[in-house]
Structure 1
């Protein structure tokens, strides 16, 4: 008598386990992610996909690829941002260096110009201090140095006379300091100036005096007016050059003025 076994009880006809299928898919997903450099567990998505669509393998691998692409894109974006920041920093550094160079060049030029101005000012002052002029503009010597005659107490002329009508402006021949200004016997109204080079000049027979002792004077500055005071026989200017302020230390006034660049 043949025995009959209930359908579905035989092991040969039993359906494959879904657990086994899901486990295999999970293992494959993990292996794939490990190979692609992405550390992730796809068991959850695979199982869900398996339940929903029955295609766990396709769903897990697709998500792994998308995740890998997203990470690579982010890394690329970060690298590009870093390169851009580095280029901007380098450009800013170049701009700052150029600005500093231009500022330094501007300072150098300004300093050079200032030094040139100072040099020019010193040169102008040096020229001013060493400039000499004739005591009477446009005049000439009417009586020479050391001319002899009874008109002079020493027997000779200790200076020179410049032709000048009464009231003609008389000028300092150079830069100096007035040491005497007033009446001086036979010289009449007289001014004595210590010049910047240490010599002395005297201006006699003035009709009036425009400076006082201790006053600083410059070349061509008016110090008085020509006249006929003192031991004089007509309006003119008596001019002397001396080594000291005292009478008797006279030197040739024409040679003195010429040595200082005055053409007579």
Structure 2
């Protein structure tokens, strides 16, 4: 076996060798956790005696290794905690976003539902208002139709009433004919007809017209003259009382006074004349006049 140096004691490792050994030992410990392997080169003997142990720096290497391991573990724990915290924060943010999105969706849904209900209510109110308006319009139209029908019915009833003629004395009969001669009349003949009637018998207008004279009429006593709607005139004489006034309109059968014996009269009766004007002497046959208007006499 060859040696590169003289036999005898081993030389003390140089600084570089020690440093290398220390570094190697540290690396070995860091990699495997084995301490004894590093010290083995320092135990070599020379000759028969033992050389004092050299300071290999093992203790420093072990102490340095524990510190590094602790720092590495602490750093790993810190990084793990930071990762967990970051993950938790990220999850919390995601949960918050999801909750916010859920609340926003609920608010939007609620707003849409409220809007839908409001629109439905508005449509319902509009429909009800339109229905009410239609009902009111229909009621107005019905009232108008009813009014028109009533007016037509009234007019229909009024026409025959206004055009109808009646006898001036209900149930009476003619006691003196038209143009009867005698000294009782200044003209020498009777200008009208006399209806038999006791004093106070109701005297009626024979048709519709307007009163043109009401009161004292000389030889006729209390009398009424009516201008009929057809343009003719009728006269009612010797009344005990007058019940109408000038300008008043009368209808067929309306009471205008009571029979009597006022004026140039020989007893209670009604003198009735038909004329073409209000003046004396324009007389026409009263019987023919009444019969031409449907009065049976």
TM-score of the pair, normalised by structure 1: 0.69
Q: 1:188 to 1:57 in 2, by over 3 A?
A: closer
User: Quick one: which of 85, 101, 115 aligns to 1:50?
Assistant: 85
**Greater alpha carbon shift after TM alignment, 118-127 vs 68-77:** 118-127
Secondary structure of 1:239 counterpart: strand
What are the residue-to-residue correspondences of 1:20-169 with 2, within 5 Å? 50=85, 55-56=88-89, 58-119=91-152, 129-148=162-181, 152-169=185-202
- Cα deviation for residue 112 of structure 1 reads 3.5
Equivalent residue for 1:216, pick from 248, 258, 266: 248
Residues 172 and 223, structure 1, Cα contact 8 Å, conserved in 2: no
Higher RCO (C-alpha 8 Å, min separation 6) = 1
User: What is the rounded CA distance, in whole Å, between the counterparts of 2:110 and 2:249 in structure 1?
Assistant: 83
Contact 1:159 1:239 in 2 (8 A): yes
C-alpha distance in 1, partners of 2:257/2:281? 23
Q: 1:70 to 1:263 in 2, by over 3 A?
A: same
- Alpha-carbon offset, residue 242 of structure 1: 0.1
Superposition deviation, residue 244 in structure 1: 0.8
TM-score normalised by length of structure 2: 0.62
CA-CA distance at 1:19 after TM superposition: 7.2
| Contact 2:193/2:271, CA 8 A, preserved across alignment | yes
* Structure whose CA Rg is larger: 2
Residue 227 of structure 1 corresponds to 261
* Aligned-residue RMSD, C-alpha: 3.6
Task: Give 5+ residue unaligned stretches, structure 2.
Answer: 1-16, 27-63
Q: Is the 8 A contact 1:178 1:217 kept in 2?
A: no
Q: Which residue of 1 aligns with 2:227?
A: 194
Aligned residues: 232
Write the distance in 2 (CA, Å) between the matches of 1:70 and 1:155.
120
